[in-house]
Chains A and B, each alone.
Chain A
Amino acid sequence: MSDAAEGHDDRSLRWLRRAVKFPYFWLLLFFLAPFLIILKISLADPVVAQPPFTPLLEWGAEGFEGLRITFSNYVFLFKDGYYGIIYLSSLKMAAIGTLLCLLLGYPMAYFIARQPPSRRHLLLLAVILPFWISFLLRVYAWIGLLNNRGVINELLLWTGVIDAPIQMLYNDFAVYLGIVYSYLPFMILPLYANLERHDLDLLDAAADLGARRWRAFVDVTLPLSAPGIIGGCLLVFIPAVGEFTIPALLGGADTLMIGRVLWDEFFVNRDWPVASAVSVVLLLLLIAPIMWFQRLQAREQETGR
């Protein structure tokens, strides 16, 4: 906004300046404050009481008596190798899931972007459409397919490809499949947005210079689509690390993902300080990819204008 317009704006937009205070306050209260509280609880001792943690600020007869902070919950997380393994396993599963998503999503986005405009629209719509049907129900649908007595196994048995059902449900394979299936549109959309903007003359130039199609793809298209690849991967990876529903429904007892452990820590073990510490560490792990994504978005918005 130019400075000349500022005076004009100040008068006509006074109401907006007032109105924005409400959502501002809303976000401070319902988004920022909860994080400070979770940080606070992660530094408190668990006690058998309601709420089940010691207060952080000690108020005695004499008034404020001091800050009571304990890092024991974090020490517990690090000493107890269990959580370290779960964090690593969540990162690994999310990374593999993201890679599989990219391997399937890239060819799809590429194919769609190279179709005539009218068909592009339809193909893209077909990618987005399942998103409007409940995520939970779509994940549930896989249980019926992957079951030992499920559609896929029955089909394979009937055709004689296998003699005994293959265990496809309640293991890591099912979780990877669930991640690829659920997050595929989030991978395809940023990739498509990037690939669609490419200047095809560059490929013609490469062909004129004698490059084979594959060579032209690797040397021209792939490097140009790097922002789309990074954007899509982050959009899949970040939520996949903390995913709960997919491992809870499709994973086995030995599928270790932090979202599920956090759920159990809270609902089953009722250890709130440890659950808080678990989520603070999860957030710290995700801060780097989140910042990366925010910067990418900001740059996209600038070049998009």
Chain B
Amino acid sequence: MRIRSPGLVSIVAFGYALLYVPIVSVVIYSFNDSRLVTLWGGFSLRWYASLLEDEKLLEAALLSLRIAFLSASFATALGAIVALALHRLGRLRGRLLLSGMVTAPLVMPEIITGLSLLFLFISMADLIGWPMNRGATTITIAHVTFSMAYVVVVVRSRLAAMDESLEEAAMDLGGRPLAVFFDVTVPMLLPALVSGWLLSFTLSLDDLVISSFVSGPGATTLPMYIFAKVRLGVTPDINAITTLIIALVALAVGIASFVTNRRRSA
């Protein structure tokens, strides 16, 4: 069935324009020489140069990357275990509670998650003396907790679509359970694990609200740094950061589609 309605087509075009116009405009203005954001003052790379001199920014970016890497790795491991347990263990004690706790962060307002985790950390410091300082560790813990939920969703849908006879065959041939798990199950789950990890990494790198609550003095993540700057209005160097991030994402998407295409044709 073909769609020819001009009304529908123009609504769809408007929708895509809405999605992409802001991104394109930021990229264009990141090369603008003028400090006034909307006046075109000629092509320039000065805002990119100013990024390199901004030590606080580089520090924040490194911290964010470190937290994102750690929390994505932890969340993928823990999320995969939860997904497997929910899928494979027919009789699991407290199953309902587990599946409830692991899906709730998907719909929980971030602001509540952040506030409640902060109160937990303060109470824990009061009771057992840990964590004494809030910062990278507490942010990582918070990110693992909410990212895990997304990993579980991704891995569960893969498990539901997976053929279990291979594992059973390996088992029947005398493979030990853990060996079968790492030699057969993990490779089959790999696409889901990779996309779960990437999703967690992005979510962590992106989080402003929860990090702001559970962070302490001295630990400023990239979104926290950007938010503090942007709250005062438009600053041209943020345009440059955005453009760099877009380039990075485009590169990652390009590599990912190249790899999957090659695998498909091979």
Binding site for B on A (CB under 8 A): 1, 6, 8-9, 11-17, 19-20, 22-24, 26-35, 37-38, 41, 51, 104-105, 107-108, 110-111, 114-115, 126-127, 129-130, 132-138, 140-145, 147, 149-151, 154, 180-181, 184, 200, 203, 238-239, 241-242, 244-245, 248-249, 259, 262-263, 266, 272, 275-276, 279, 282-283, 286, 290, 293-294, 297, 301, 304-305
Partner of A238, one of B15, B107, B226: B107
A135 CA to B209 CA in the complex, in Å? 12
Assess A279 versus B116: contact at CB under 8 Å? Given A27-B102, A136-B223: yes
Q: Which residues of B contact A126 (CB under 8 A)?
A: 16, 19
Which residue of A14, A151, A272 is within 8 Å of B38 (Cβ)?
A151
Q: Which residue of chain A lies nearest to B168 when distances are taken between CB atoms in the complex?
A: A8
Q: Report the Cα distance A108→B3, complex, angstroms.
A: 12
Interface residues on B, range: 35 or more
Neighbour of B3 across the interface among A111, A140, A142, CB < 8 A: A111
Instruction: Report yes or no: A38 in contact with B12, Cβ–Cβ below 8 A.
Output: no
A31-B104 contact, Cβ under 8 Å, with A6-B91, A20-B85, A279-B112? yes
Which residue of chain B has the shortest Cβ distance to A305 in the bound complex? B160
A141 and B26 contact, CB distance less than 8 A: yes
Asked if B112 and A282 sit within 8 Å, CB to CB, the answer is: yes
A103 to B92, CA, bound (A): 43
Residues on A with beta carbons closer than 8 Å to the beta carbon of B92: 17, 20
Assess A13 versus B88: contact at CB under 8 Å? Given A145-B25, A184-B19, A244-B209: yes
List residues of B whose CB falls within 8 A of some A CB: 1, 3, 8-9, 11-12, 14-16, 18-23, 25-26, 29, 36-38, 78-79, 81-82, 84-85, 88-92, 94, 98, 101-105, 107, 109-113, 115-117, 119-120, 122-123, 126, 141-142, 144-145, 148, 160, 171, 177-178, 180-181, 202, 205-206, 208-209, 213, 223, 226-227, 230-231, 233-234, 238-239, 241-242, 245-246, 249, 252-253
Are A132 and B78 in contact (CB-based, < 8 A)?
no
A244 touches B145 (CB 8 A): no
Chain A's closest residue to B233 (CB) is: A143
Question: Which residues of the other chain, A, contact B37 by a CB distance below 8 angstroms?
Answer: 144, 147, 149-150
On chain A, the residues within 8 Å of B3 by CB distance are 111, 114-115
CA distance A12 to B111 in the complex (A): 42
Determine the main DSSP class of A at the interface with B.
Answer: helix
A-B contact pairs, 21 of them (CB 8 A): A16-B89, A19-B85, A20-B82, A31-B105, A104-B18, A108-B16, A129-B249, A133-B246, A141-B23, A141-B25, A144-B22, A144-B25, A239-B109, A239-B110, A263-B209, A279-B112, A279-B116, A282-B109, A283-B109, A294-B103, A305-B160
Min CB–CB distance B166 → chain A (angstroms): 14
Q: Do B115 and A145 touch across chains, with their CB atoms under 8 A apart?
A: no
Q: Is the CB of B126 within 8 A of A51?
A: yes
Q: Which of B120, B181, B230 contacts A34 (CB 8 A)?
A: B120
User: Given A107-B12, A108-B15, A132-B252, list of 12 further CB < 8 A pairs?
Assistant: A9-B88, A15-B181, A31-B101, A38-B119, A105-B15, A108-B11, A115-B3, A137-B242, A137-B245, A180-B18, A242-B111, A279-B111
Closest residue of chain A to B229 (Cβ to Cβ) is A140
Also in contact, A184 and B101, with CB within 8 A (given A34-B120, A135-B206, A145-B21):
no
Between A32, A129, A140, the greatest number of chain B beta carbons within 10 A of the residue's beta carbon is seen for A140
In the complex the two chains form, what is the Cα distance from A176 to B227 in whole Å?
20
User: Which residue of the partner chain, among A110, A181, A293, contacts B22 with CB atoms under 8 Å?
Assistant: A181
Contacts A181-B19, A242-B111 given; does A144 touch B234 at CB 8 Å? yes
**Cα distance A40–B115 in the bound complex, in angstroms:** 13
Are A20 and B238 in contact, CB atoms less than 8 angstroms apart? no
When A and B form their complex, which 3 residue pairs have the shortest distance between CB atoms, in order from nearest? A242-B109, A34-B116, A141-B22
| CB atoms of A259 and B111 under 8 A apart | yes
Task: Please report the C-alpha to C-alpha distance between residue A180 and residue B17 in the assembled complex, in whole angstroms.
Answer: 13
In the docked arrangement, what's the CA distance between A29 and B138, Å? Answer: 13
Given known A38-B119, A108-B12, contact A134–B103 (CB-CB < 8 A): no
Known: A20-B85, A22-B78. Is A129-B107 also a contact (CB below 8 A)?
no
A108 — which chain B residues lie within 8 A by C-beta?
Answer: 11-12, 15-16
Q: With A and B bound together, what is the CA distance between A28 and B120 in angstroms? A: 12
Selected contact of A37 from candidates B90, B107, B116, B213, CB within 8 Å: B116
- Alpha-carbon gap, A134 to B202, bound state (A): 8
Q: How many Å from the CB of B257 to the closest CB on chain A?
A: 9
Q: Which residue of B lies closest to A294 (CB)?
A: B103
* CB atoms of A37 and B111 under 8 A apart: no
